Amino acid sequence: MDPTEFTTLRSFSDPASAEAARALLREEGIPAHLGPQDPISGPIASAQRGVRLFVPTPDADRARHVLADTDLTDRELGYLATGRLGPID
């Protein structure tokens, strides 16, 4: 398996939640990157269309366990990243 191959671990509706999840993974030593939900890029596109969280494929299972163990909603992850609670869905 190519060590530079990445897997989409999860999609988020807002960049703050994605950033908080990425920070949790990095604290566990798992490299993680964010990207737009679709090919249109830029901050406005990301905010409107969501954000994907990528990890190296060999780390994907471990990363899933890390995020599952946190048991946080996207709203709670957003709060961790920004200090503000977003709207309740």
User: What is the pLDDT at residue 37?
Assistant: 72
- Those residues with Cβ within 8 angstroms of residue 80's Cβ, 6 or more apart along the chain or in another chain: 20, 23, 72
Sign of the dihedral through C-alpha 6, 7, 8, 10: negative
Q: What is the pLDDT of residue 9?
A: 94
* Nearby residues of 2 by Cβ (< 8 Å), 6 or more positions away: 57
* Rounded distance between C-alpha atoms, residue 34 and residue 83, angstroms: 20
pLDDT in tens, the chain (89 residues): 455 799 999 998 888 889 999 999 999 999 999 998 765 555 554 455 689 999 999 999 999 999 988 877 777 877 777 877 766 65
Q: Give domain limits for the chain.
A: 12-82
Write down the pLDDT at residue 8: 95
pTM of the model: 0.73
Task: Reply yes or no on domain 12-82 having CATH 3.30.70.
Answer: yes
Alpha-carbon span 48 to 56, nearest angstrom: 26
